[in-house]
Amino acid sequence: MGFRKLFPSFADPDKWRNENQGKKLDRAKWQALRRKILLRDDYTCQYCGYRSEKYQIVHHLDGDPENNEESNLATICQMCNIIVHAGQGCVVKGVVDLYRESNYNQNDIIRITRKTRDQGKTDDEIIAFLDLKKKAPFRMDKRYLANLFGFVTSRPTLTGDDIYDRWKASHSLRLGVSEA
């Protein structure tokens, strides 16, 4: 299976949470479409291959929440989603750090981070293994972000008890891993 290329980005704030959205689906239609996409993708993240029947997200590939064509929708895991929405991950939630250098591509960074964290490795150990260097600030500039690498830390979110925190706890319990 070929995975979609992952890189830090952000959703256009003018398109999301906009009161003037005319084509946004009502909750029942969105839930039906969401379920169809999750089933189509076998609950598997289209970026890293992580499979889970809980906490997966249906992502608008073009960033437009009104474009609900099936070809524009893909299943994405919590970790990949927080990279795709690096503005949220870096600024709002505070769980993503950006770096200028790595020995791995972004998709592999997610896979390796999940696997090694599940083995009990600390953030510092994972960062050293990935050879992440030269921390960089978040900027709302997609070309700038596309050249960076996002690392999803084990820190709790700044917002507290959100879906990412619940996924992290659920994932750890499923594996019998205690959070550091």
Q: Which residues pair with 73 in a beta bridge?
A: 60
In this prediction, residue 179 has a pLDDT band, given cuts at 50, 70 and 90, of: very low
Global pTM exceeds 0.75: yes
Residue 102 has pLDDT above 90, yes or no: yes
- Check residues 62 and 24 and name the one with the higher pLDDT: 62
| Mean pLDDT lowest among 20-34, 84-98, 125-139, 147-161 | 20-34
Asked if residue 22 belongs to a domain, the reply is no
Asked if residue 154 belongs to a domain, the reply is yes
Asked if residue 45 belongs to a domain, the reply is no
Residue 24 has pLDDT above 80, yes or no: no
Asked if residue 68 belongs to a domain, the reply is no
Helices (H), 49-162: 78-84, 86-87, 106-118, 123-130, 142-145
Q: Please count the structural domains in the chain.
A: 1
Asked if residue 2 belongs to a domain, the reply is no
pLDDT tens profile 3-21: 899 999 987 777 665 565 5
Asked if residue 13 belongs to a domain, the reply is no
Range of the domain at 129: 83-175
Asked if residue 129 belongs to a domain, the reply is yes
- Check residues 145 and 172 and name the one with the higher pLDDT: 145
Give the C-alpha distances (Å, rounded to integers) separating 50 from 41, 102, 112. 11, 21, 11
In this prediction, residue 162 has a pLDDT band, given cuts at 50, 70 and 90, of: confident
Query: Do 83 and 89 meet the contact criterion of CB atoms below 8 Å apart?
Result: yes
Asked if residue 73 belongs to a domain, the reply is no
Helices (H), the chain: 27-40, 78-84, 86-87, 106-118, 123-130, 142-145, 163-175
Give the whole-angstrom CA distance, residue 21 versus residue 18.
6
